[in-house]
Amino acid sequence: MLRQVADGVLVHESEFCQSNAVVVQGGAGVLLVDPGVLGDEMACLADDLSEMGQAVVAGFSTHPHWDHLLWHPGLGAGPRYGTARCAAVVRDRLSDAGAKARVVRVMPPEIVERVPLELLGLIAGLPAGTARVPWDGPEVRIVEHQAHASGHAALLIEERGVLIAGDMLSDVLIPMLDLSGAADPIEDYLAALRLLEEMAGDVDVVIPGHGAVGEGGQVRARINQDRAYVYALRDAGAADDPRIGPSAKEGWEWVAGVHERQYAQISGRAGAGG
């Protein structure tokens, strides 16, 4: 079910990891950001938009992880965009016949049969440095950074006071660093938080890739919380973060395991460097 979170901006929350598909209304139709995750949910979203008389005129994937690269035939055949780096990663990862089988292996087994992969990752990379999503609607600024994944982008809809944060600024997920390909994942993440902080004064609503939509001053609070977590990782200190402690939201206890793996990898990097 679509829920309006700002003027002309609606969210559909998936049952999988509270994933947020974002609909931005424009002149000739809608921009659809990170649709997903389950096939029946995307079909429902397509039906809801059809009943509203809204066609999907463009899509956007915030980063190159499978759950942000999905699509459904009912959503139409409009252009689907990502940053140049994001699209390059997707092309590389999906370039061989065994790619989709590898995607299936990282999915929770209970949802494999419910996730359509036929249109996975069919995105066009926008030219490097593109500042705005090309579409007939409100200006959507592309804020590219390298936190979480190569070519990750947040989207700022300034006239509507909305920040679509991709997989950052979540109330349930800790910062998940790119520990596989980044030379300096800690600094990449801190630099991304600085970028988001620069525009926080224009934001009334923040939509994370997973978790609850934040309103009012929550964008600054979430930036501060994420920065404190990354500092704790960097300094090998204890992370005093409710997303991984005893007060973690029910069903999200597994995030503590993500923290433990990140801590071990960051500590290992520091030890090797020393």
CA distance linking residue 96 with residue 10, whole number of Å? 36
Q: Is 6 strand, coil or helix?
A: strand
* E-strand stretches of the chain: 2-6, 9-13, 20-25, 30-33, 56-60, 80-82, 124-125, 141-145, 152-157, 162-166, 205-208, 214-215
Digit-coded pLDDT (tens) for 216-233? 889 999 999 999 999 999
Q: Does domain 2-273 have CATH number 3.20.20.70?
A: no
Q: With contact defined as beta carbons under 8 Å apart, do 234 and 263 qualify?
A: no
Of 9, 241, 267, which is closest to residue 138 (Cα–Cα)? 9
Task: Tally Cβ neighbours within 10 Å of residue 47.
Answer: 11
CA distance linking residue 230 with residue 68, whole number of Å? 23
Rounded to a whole number, what is the distance in angstroms from the first to the last CA of the chain?
A: 52
Name 154's bridge partners: 143
- What pLDDT shows up at residue 274? 43
Digit-coded pLDDT (tens) for 17-56? 999 999 999 999 999 999 989 999 999 999 999 999 999 9
Q: Given CA atoms 211, 213, 219, 221 in this order, what sign does their dihedral have? A: negative
Residues 136-171 as b or e (16 or more Cβ within 10 Å = b): ebbebbbbbbbbbbbbbbbbbbeebbbbbbbbbbbb
Give the list of residues 6+ apart from residue 184 with CB closer than 8 angstroms, or none: none
Dig out the tokens for 224 from the structure.
């501060």
Name 208's bridge partners: 166
Average per-residue pLDDT for the chain:
95
Of 169, 177, 217, which is closest to residue 195 (Cα–Cα)? 169
Digit-coded pLDDT (tens) for 163-200? 999 999 999 999 999 998 789 999 999 999 999 999 99
Please report, for the chain, the start and end positions of each structural domain, with discontinuous segments joined by +.
Answer: 2-273
Q: Are strands 152-157 and 141-145 parallel, antiparallel or unpaired?
A: antiparallel
For 64-73, 123-132, 192-201, 261-270, which range has the lowest pLDDT when averaged over its residues?
A: 261-270
pLDDT band at 271 (very low <50, low <70, confident <90, very high): low
